[in-house]
Amino acid sequence: MFSRRMLKSKIHRATVTEANVEYEGSISIDSNLMTAADIIPFEAVQVWNVTRGTRLETYAIEAPPSSGVICINGAAAHLVAAGEIVIIASFVDVPDKDAPYSPKLIFVDAQNRQCSAPV
């Protein structure tokens, strides 16, 4: 059976609140945003830096709920700085019979609070 790699979810245009090179790795994401985007702890995510035009892959860890935290950790902190805008995306393999697939699209404002449409 064939499958397609599809966008599962994304957090669109989040503002990076911190970059911590001393942490072992990952991206810390406000746990409310993770829940809304159906991203679980240690799930692989891609981070697309809208400000710089760069991309990286890491894994998600939970930051406190309603904190608005989007923190790039470890070596990736050399690639993303606080205040930059990123898109955080996760993917899923979907059997052809289940495609097309509808992803969860989470939009946030400048404080990383969920909103209903792109800001």
**Beta carbons of 27 and 59 less than 8 angstroms apart:** yes
62 strand-pairing partners: 29
- Within its chain, how far is the Cα of 119 from the centroid? 17
For the annotated catalytic residues, the residue numbers are: 26, 59
Alpha helices, H only, 11-117: 31-37
